[in-house]
Structure 1
Amino acid sequence: MRILVVEDDRLLNNTLCYNLNTAGYAVDSALTKSAAGSFLTEQDYDLIVLDVNLPDGNGFDFCREVKERRPDTAIIFLTANDMESDMLKGYELGAEDYVTKPFPMSVFQKKLAVVLGRLTKQYGGDTYEDDILTINFSEMSATLSGKPLTFTPLEYRLLKILMKNPQIVLTRQVLLKR
């Protein structure tokens, strides 16, 4: 799982990244909305931990942009804004959770584990299965109606990218980048 932490408080950002790295996640860190946007042009993320109040923009606007580009990216808002209207707005924009500061790190890690567990179940982790087709990407094996299929490693990588981006048109350039 790849996570992007977008938090302008440097100490909190470092603490979150340290704890997530220690838990085994691949983590990138951004202190501003523009830096986070740059990361998103280079990499897709399974989860974004996002502050609402950023020095160069609004986390709600950034969430909207992310969801338009890649609707399956999970977002957890992490903010001092504890008003009910802000929480509702976060959920309406498609956030998985809304955590208000200050918070115990153990509670945040538990919320994160629940969201990531839900994502793994939803997208099948490293496999794809329906009534006819089964693909195991880690073992590079596939069957169609029980009969083995043969794909090249490149074809497995392309299928995995397409599977993780359902209902999204991916250009040739985007596919080559990934």
Structure 2
Amino acid sequence: MRILIVEDEVTLNKTIAEGLAEFGYQTDSSESFKDAEYYVGIRNYDLVLTDWMLPDGNGIDLIGLVKQKSARTSVVVL
């Protein structure tokens, strides 16, 4: 399972990624809406974990972007 983590707080982002990796999940990490948009454009994700407020956008807008690319991808807003 491939998971995209979108969290602007670096420590929390890294902690989530490390925790998921321990259970065998493949993760990519993004700290901004723009970076998340890039990752969503080049990869298919099973799950996107996103922060509500990002420095250059918000998690709600990201849901629309993710669902346009893959309606099957689940999105959890933290």
Provide the identity percentage: 40
Match of 1:30 in 2: 30
Match of 1:70 in 2: 70
Match of 2:47 in 1: 47
Please give the alpha-carbon distance, in whole angstroms, between the structure 1 residues aligned to 2:54 and 2:2. Answer: 21
C-alpha displacement of 1:25? 0.2
Q: Which amino acid aligns with 1:64?
A: G
Q: Which amino acid aligns with 1:17?
A: A
C-alpha displacement of 1:20? 0.4
Query: Aligned-residue CA RMSD in angstroms?
Result: 0.7
Q: Which amino acid aligns with 1:45?
A: Y
Q: Which amino acid aligns with 1:62?
A: L
Greater gyration radius: 1
Instruction: Find out whether 1:2 has 2:2 as its counterpart.
Output: yes
The answer for unaligned runs of 5 or more in structure 2 is none
Aligned pair count reads 78
Question: What does the per-residue CA deviation read over 1:42-75, in whole Å, with 9 as the maximum and x for residues that have no partner?
Answer: 1110000011100000110111111122110001
Please give the alpha-carbon distance, in whole angstroms, between the structure 1 residues aligned to 2:5 and 2:67. Answer: 16
**Contact 2:40 2:69 (8 Å CA) reproduced:** no
The answer for unaligned runs of 5 or more in structure 1 is 79-178
Question: What does the per-residue CA deviation read over 1:89-148, in whole Å, with 9 as the maximum and x for residues that have no partner?
Answer: xxxxxxxxxxxxxxxxxxxxxxxxxxxxxxxxxxxxxxxxxxxxxxxxxxxxxxxxxxxx
The two structures have a TM-score, normalised by structure 2, of 0.96
Please give the alpha-carbon distance, in whole angstroms, between the structure 2 residues aligned to 1:28 and 1:11. Answer: 15
Please give the alpha-carbon distance, in whole angstroms, between the structure 1 residues aligned to 2:50 and 2:20. Answer: 14
What's the secondary structure of 1:76's corresponding residue? strand
Question: What does the per-residue CA deviation read over 1:9-49, in whole Å, with 9 as the maximum and x for residues that have no partner?
Answer: 10100000000011100000000000011111111100000
What's the secondary structure of 2:24's corresponding residue? coil
The two structures have a TM-score, normalised by structure 1, of 0.43
